[in-house]
Chain A
Amino acid sequence: MTKSKPSIRIAHGIPSATVHIGVGAVAVLLSMATVTVPFWLIVALALAVAAAAAPRLHMAWALMVLLAFAQLSHPPLLTDWRPYVLMAGLHLLHVLASMSLAVPLRGRIALSVLGRTLRRYLVIQLPAQGLLIIVLALLTPAGVHAVWLAPVGAAALVACAATLVLPIVRDRE
């Protein structure tokens, strides 16, 4: 009788740890690129490790807030690469962290699953990058802050929250 082990095979499969490693890699690279204060860098790296190792703790989203706030220490410049990288990275981190909640650390994952996720990522990310370029070009010439943005933005935030919350309330009723 044979001594080979039982095995499974899926078409075009890769190790599912790729998703978890991706979470860790994106989180660490973003932290190194954007966080300049040593203390917060240590915190960010700790959160990155936790996000990759234990997705169910939802540390990836805490790290996203920290990384976004790190942008406050950099002036908003059209020629600065950080906002673009941060926008792409935060979105990618969110998508990978979301998938890592459902994908096991050990196993195989069909490559086509990641392909569709990548397509959706690009569909959202490309217009968002365009918007960021326009906003940075129009509103921050020579590093001037848009003071009037606060009330306009507050109204936009209320509208956004209403758009997101109202359907939920309607569904529950």
Chain B
Amino acid sequence: MSRTQHAALWHASGSLAGAVIVGVVVLGTGLVASRPDLACLAVPLLVWAAWSWQGRPRGEAQTECVIETAHRVTGESPCLTAALRVSSDELAEFVHARTLVGGTHRRNAVLDGRSEAPLSAVVPARHSGPCEVLALRYRLVSADGAFITDPTPQQEAERIIRPQIVPLPQLLLPQRLHGLTGTHGSTRPGDGGSFRDIALFAPGDRLRRIDWKATARLARRPGDLYVRRSFATSDATAVIVMDTGDELGEVVAEWTRGRVDKTGLTSMDAAREAAAAIAVAYTQSGDQVALQNLALGSRQVRRGSGDRHRERLLATIAATRPHGVGMTHRRAPLVAAGALVFVLSTFFDGEAATLAAMWSAVGHRVLAVDTLPPGNRAGLTPEQATAHTIVMMEREDRLRDMEAAGVRIVRWADAAGLPSRNAQFSALARERAR
């Protein structure tokens, strides 16, 4: 809910002066010309002027504006709604509100100032993340428009829409697991994992690990005891690195215009969806997840696990918005040792690709998630089409360089003629198993 209070100064709109001038001229002419019928025509105007002057507002108008937003998911068309209430002193008879609905559509509304001026806005929920629902400036108007205030400063109400949680096809694991507890089988001896081998009892082995059948079969000397050893279970650490430098939609012609209602699904939508899927999948399996934002240049959420950490991650991911091209990193941001690094980017500039290669070079398993949606080139001029082709070729080169540096690439949005997301994750899961 957004609530603001304003003070606005009243001033005459010009109609009061018009009524007085016309009234006096007509009255004077009627009297000079000895035409009482003409003089009478001025009476309503002069009475109106006197009435308006008598009830004129003095000083500043105090007004309060409340915008309540909600996210409705009914049927197949989720939408955002906003309810606006403007309350002010009694002299304001109506309110002229200039609104910007959904960040794209300008709409005017004249509301009743004496009944808390209810106005409702409905905006289709096209994207995840922070969505502008309603922005407005308004001015108060006295009876019949005789007095008017200056427009108030702009007030905005936005709503954060959480991305849809899609299941991750496969849980990929890093090169190295850590710890002696967790849900993933480790290559180190320990407890909880599958059978490893049978060995002679050594100091430190627990008595309950003694395998009496194996001892009876294998013991050569009195006192020989054999124990069953198992693999340990371990945790994985996943680091989600989001590149929020740009937001590119399906419609290429809108890349420079950025009209949110015409872009189609954007790279930020895909990035939020991918990050949420990764965060949910890994935290649900008990692993540790951290979140970094490249454009902000800071670690947003420290690594952790559990339900509360998952909620923290989802809230942060949902609130992520494009920040423009941010800082340039001289060295890769620190991530936990042996972590699996997911780099979510469109790879339109070299920053994310360079960092991914750096992380790969120091031994991390790095997965580059390409968040660029399939492009629709309709409406491009020949020059724009050429420029798009060149930019895409540069991007392809960048992806190829990354792959050569050991970074694996997954295209998040499914596209015709390319392996599906599930197939790509399955292939990567087999890669580690080998």
Contact = CB atoms under 8 A, between A and B. Distances in A.
Interface string A111-153: 0110011001000110010011001100110000111011001
Given A2-B77, A120-B143, A124-B48, A10 B125 contact: no
Nearest to B26: A68
B144 A99 contact: yes
Interface residues of A, number: 72
Interface string B332-366: 00000000000000000000000000000000000
A110 B111 CA distance: 5
Contacts of B261: 5-6
Interface residues of B, number: 77
Contacts of A95: 48, 144
B37 A157 contact: no
Interface in B1-52: 13-15, 18-22, 24-51
Nearest to B143: A120
Given A104-B110, A110-B111, A145-B35, A65 B22 contact: yes
A136 B37 contact: yes
B115 to A, nearest CB: 7
A103 interface: yes
Nearest to A88: B44
Given A86-B41, A124-B48, A157-B27, A2 B76 contact: yes
A155 B22 CA distance: 18
A71 B14 contact: no
Given A10-B119, A61-B18, A90-B41, 9 more contacts: A58-B18, A71-B37, A103-B145, A108-B109, A109-B109, A110-B117, A117-B143, A128-B47, A150-B31
B270 to A, nearest CB: 13
Interface string B125-153: 11000000000000101011110100000
A8 B101 contact: yes
A153 B24 CA distance: 12
A32 B19 CA distance: 22
Nearest to A56: B14
Nearest to B32: A150
